[in-house]
A and B are shown apart, each in its own frame.
Chain A
Amino acid sequence: MHIPDGYLGPQTYIPFYGIMLPLWHRGSKILRKELNAKQIPLLALSAAFSFVIMMFNIPVPGGSTGHAVGSALIAILLGPWAAFMSVSMALIIQALLFGDGGITAIGANCFNIAFIMSFSGYYIYKLLSSNSGTNIPRRVFAACVAAYISINLAAFLTAVEFGIQPYIAHKPDGTPLYGPYSLDVAVPIMAIEHLAIFGFIEALVTGLVVAYIAKTDPAMLNIRVSSELEVTPTASKRYRRLWIGLGILILLTPLGLIASGGSWGEWGADELLKMIGFAPEGLKGLSNLWNSVFPDYTIPGLKGPVESVFGYIFSAVIATSVILLFSFVISKTVFRGR
């Protein structure tokens, strides 16, 4: 999932640095307050841990092997900010030292893998394992779902960043300058790969480690390098951030489509200005896709890109709600009596 140099144009990677700089700043502030001088060795060691966890190959059912990214697992064990910072550090070391992931793409990679994956993983786990007490199976289930959803979110964002390249950066004759595949190719390929394979490997590793720790060292599941989020009195307040985050993500889903429609203002106005009124082939394909998924989904007077935008948001809302509802019901019923 590491985006190398050359996949993203400057219109994409510069804004991601813009997003990441304040986040890193805030992360270091929060951890500094929590841990004082202790943060330096602890963060260094958790960064080392997030680096080495990606090296563990594990046999997966079916005779093959695979390895996990681990952001969700680290977030569950150490808290989201510590996970965010340490996974970022690991990604920076990989990019600067091993060329694994590009230097220009550090911002985007850290956003997808360190930020989105850690935070979504952490809050989904918290939501599903709330009041689970000593109910270990529910915790394990929550960890699996958190890992599965969070890696898919990260993969989806990676695909969107990659897939918007042909729309926002191409030559006058239509030759894409960076990643050559549009959203309608990039998103399904990444989604299928991660929904079918990598999501399950991530869930397997995360679930098994949580189960093992719960059995051998239950106190560790409550150890948190950072505990800044523990001052949340009511359930509704506690999950407000999750809902806000999920909402933002859902609203973000059609970003690529907006770009081709011409209102991608702050991300490269010049290129976009030229493209107003231009409906790319891929977009038509996507409209077809959504129309076939939701055959009755039409908004009178709205055609083309706008329809796709709503199609995206609509389907993201539906999919997220279905997954969360389903997981919530399972976690409350199946694991109730244990």
Chain B
Amino acid sequence: MKLEWLKTDYSTPPSVQSDNNVHKRSYLEKTLKEITSFFMNGIFSEEIISRGGLLQSIDPRVKVLAIVIMVITVSLYKQLSILLAAYSATLVLAYFSRIGLKFFLMRVWFFIPLFSGIIAVPALFNIFVPGDSIIDLITLKKDMVFGPLHIPQTIAITRQGALSAALFVMRVATSVSLVVLLTLTTRWTHILKALRVFKVPQFFTFILGMSYRYIHLLLRQIEAVHYARQSRTIGKEEGSSGRKWIISQIKFVLKRSLNIGEQVYSAMVSRGFTYELRTADNFKLKKIDYICAIVSVLLIMVTLGFN
């Protein structure tokens, strides 16, 4: 299933003035862009799930459990080399799950931990992480103190700083890669069902599932009113009028979600809801699931052993 046409970014409709006029994106465009990326997220994963690679064919229960334990294991690693190996493993998994490498890397590095990458940079220097110097950068006349910051006489990149920055970035990247692999290859409903197997109370999984469905509904409505507003806005809008409008929208959405809640409850009662929640469980463990489970356990034990 190719959905190329859906990838077109419709959040910013073509406008006559935007060619030469570099203007800040308005609040409407920003919200619309966020909403679009929310829906695209679902569409992308649906498409990747339909490709049928390695991770797609594994039972959700095994997959959720394995990934959660792996994320915990990643948080236990102390050696950079093991973290790098684990990160490479996620790339291999992505390849065998038929996730485009470029898409996967973009997804992991540009969406989430870019921020972590930037904030790790200052950690290189002995201003923040004291330790043994590798490269001396600047030598000042004497030590300086700016509020809580103590600037030493020689500003240097430290071994500890560089290692801690690398550890930090790789740890975040590996954990995020694992979670992205899970969400790209598993349907949300299956993740929820898998959670139930691990004794997460049905109360929670049921609400999570229902909530996710109504997030779609609410966002569709918000999207529609934002488009309506945008298409009727000409020229530059005053900040205060935009604020007024957004505030009324927030109230409207709140009122609406409470109303829907009431209506859904009535609908449930009238259909004979007795507080017993039942879902069809049709998971069945196959050979590949056992192999996957054994391989994961081995990997976790071996890496922790080397750690």
Tell me the bound Cα distance from A37 to B250 in angstroms. 26
- Asked if B27 and A77 sit within 8 Å, CB to CB, the answer is no
Tell me the bound Cα distance from A262 to B171 in angstroms. 27
A325 proximal to B (CB < 8 A): no
- Asked if B215 and A93 sit within 8 Å, CB to CB, the answer is yes
A188 proximal to B (CB < 8 A): yes
Mask of A87-104 contacts with B, CB within 8 angstroms, 1/0: 001101101111110111
Tell me the bound Cα distance from A43 to B208 in angstroms. 9
Tell me which of A5, A10, A61, A65 has the highest count of chain B C-beta atoms within 10 A of its own C-beta: A5
Q: Which of B118-166 contact A (CB under 8 A)?
A: 119-120, 122-123, 128-132, 145, 147-150, 159-161, 163-165
B222 proximal to A (CB < 8 A): yes
Tell me the bound Cα distance from A99 to B165 in angstroms. 21
A111 proximal to B (CB < 8 A): no
A314 proximal to B (CB < 8 A): no
Residues of A within 8 A of B58 (CB): none
Tell me the bound Cα distance from A46 to B219 in angstroms. 14
Total count of chain A residues near the partner, CB < 8 A: 83
Tell me the bound Cα distance from A24 to B34 in angstroms. 29
- Asked if B239 and A59 sit within 8 Å, CB to CB, the answer is yes
A131 proximal to B (CB < 8 A): no
- Asked if A176 and B261 sit within 8 Å, CB to CB, the answer is no
Question: With contacts A28-B203, A49-B253, A49-B254 known, is A175 near B75, CB below 8 A?
Answer: no
- Asked if A103 and B148 sit within 8 Å, CB to CB, the answer is no
Residues of A within 8 A of B251 (CB): 209, 212-213, 216-217
Mask of B178-222 contacts with A, CB within 8 angstroms, 1/0: 011001000010010000000001011011101110110111001
- Asked if A65 and B112 sit within 8 Å, CB to CB, the answer is no
Of the candidates B113, B131, B207, B222, which one forms a contact with A44 in the assembled complex, judged by CB atoms under 8 Å apart? B207
Residues of B within 8 A of A176 (CB): 123, 129, 160, 164, 167-168
Residues of B within 8 A of A63 (CB): 24, 239
- Asked if B208 and A48 sit within 8 Å, CB to CB, the answer is no
Tell me the bound Cα distance from A209 to B210 in angstroms. 26
- Asked if B218 and A175 sit within 8 Å, CB to CB, the answer is no
Residues of A within 8 A of B165 (CB): 180
Question: With contacts A55-B31, A55-B219, A175-B163 known, is A208 near B172, CB below 8 A?
Answer: no
- Asked if A55 and B222 sit within 8 Å, CB to CB, the answer is yes
Stretch at the interface among B47-55, B93-101, B263-271: B263-271
Mask of A217-229 contacts with B, CB within 8 angstroms, 1/0: 1001001000000
Tell me the bound Cα distance from A76 to B18 in angstroms. 41
Q: Which of A80-122 contact B (CB under 8 A)?
A: 89-90, 92-93, 95-100, 102-104
Chain A positions within 8 Å of B, measured between CB atoms, are 4-10, 13, 24, 28, 32, 36-38, 40-49, 51-53, 55-61, 63-65, 77, 89-90, 92-93, 95-100, 102-104, 166, 171, 173-182, 184-185, 188, 204-205, 208-209, 212-213, 216-217, 220, 223, 281-282, 284-286, 288-289
> Which 8 pairs, one residue from A and one from B, show the smallest C-beta to C-beta distance?
A5-B175, A6-B172, A44-B210, A6-B171, A180-B123, A45-B261, A41-B264, A184-B148
